[in-house]
Amino acid sequence: MPTTKFFQGILLLLPLLVGCSMSEGFRRQGFKIIAHRGASKDAPENTLAALELGIRQGADGVEFDVYKTGDGWLTLMHDKDVLRTTNFKDVFTDGRSAKVSELSLAELRSLDAGSWLSADYAGEKVPTFEEALEKLRGRATPVIEIKPEDIGQDVAMIVQKLSIEKEVFVQSFSPRAISDFHKVLPEVTTGYLTGSKVSDDSVERAREHLRIARESGASVVVCNYKLADREYIEEIHRNEFFVWVYTVDDAAVMRLLMERGIDGIITNVPSVLRDLSGRGK
């Protein structure tokens, strides 16, 4: 092929190449607004309604928590049991366990996961992991938090089954869950969640968090916002990792963290962060 034709070919391919890197963009570039458990100030956490509202409030990514039922289904839930966020006590009066790991999917689905927050959400169900992923597909990045440390591979297999490896971000407080996830899907970008202060020295703290993140295969440190002072953020960046924080609802704190160069904020009120970051409605 003549040289000019070769370069013309490369030029024609450029948008495609840029498009490819854009699909990595959520994880790699630009400040991110992430809705925590959906837009969970206004809608019941970890329900499809909360995920939908997160998208509508302008989130780039929508975070939710994943557990496994007694009969092997992955579902959304933050706590080990369903007592706080469903009407379990009204439905089951026979003394059975309220732990997600001891309930069947059918039992979970018989619960109302919305009324505890507001009558407007009466009848909202506990979604399956797959339903949540389908709700977000092509609209916002699923930010999947693996709760029990032994379900990393189950989570990966569903992501693989739905062919959305390039669309998701996976995070956990458990390094084992992250490394298990990577055994199935090594290429997906993951985050190590931590609220551990480790040291009063910000640089030492950042290095310890980086060490654990690296060992588990994560490339983002997602920490409690109180740990993310300027030195901490700079040390994470010096090591070419990204740093996100949870969970910030106060506009002044959001602004401070953005001034310090934070890469992403997880919030119950994505609309507040959207307005603050100048993205408008």
For residue 266, the partner it binds in ligand G3P, Ca ion, none, with Cβ less than 5 to 8 A by kind, is ligand G3P
Least distance to Ca ion from the beta carbon of 44, Å? 15
For residue 52, the partner it binds in ligand G3P, Ca ion, none, with Cβ less than 5 to 8 A by kind, is none
- The rounded distance, in Å, linking the Cα atoms of 92 and 77 is 18
263 binds ligand G3P (CB under 6 A): no
Candidate list 33, 49, 193, 233; residue touching ligand G3P; CB under 6 A = 193
Instruction: Decide if 242 contacts 220 (C-beta within 8 A).
Output: yes
- C-alpha distances in angstroms, 57 versus 43, 51, 99, 257, 279? 12, 10, 32, 20, 11
Nearer to Ca ion, 45 or 235 (CB): 45
Chain-centroid distance of CA 40 in Å reads 13
59 binds ligand G3P (CB under 6 A): no
Q: Which residue is nearest to Ca ion (CB)?
A: 145
- The rounded distance, in Å, linking the Cα atoms of 240 and 227 is 18
62 binds ligand G3P (CB under 6 A): no
192 binds ligand G3P (CB under 6 A): no
Rule CB under 5 A: which of 105-164 touch Ca ion? Answer: 145
36 binds ligand G3P (CB under 6 A): yes
Residue type, 208: E
Question: 95 — phi, psi (to 5°)?
Answer: 80, 10
60 binds ligand G3P (CB under 6 A): no
Least distance to ligand G3P from the beta carbon of 127, Å? 16
Least distance to ligand G3P from the beta carbon of 271, Å? 18
**What is the x/- site pattern for ligand G3P, positions 217-256, by CB under 6 A?**
-----x-----------------------xx---------
For residue 193, the partner it binds in Ca ion, ligand G3P, none, with Cβ less than 5 to 8 A by kind, is ligand G3P
**What is the x/- site pattern for Ca ion, positions 41-70, by CB under 5 A?**
------------------------x-----
Residue type, 23: S
Binding site for ligand G3P (CB under 6 A): 36, 63, 65, 78, 145, 193, 222, 246-247, 266
Binding site for Ca ion (CB under 5 A): 65, 145
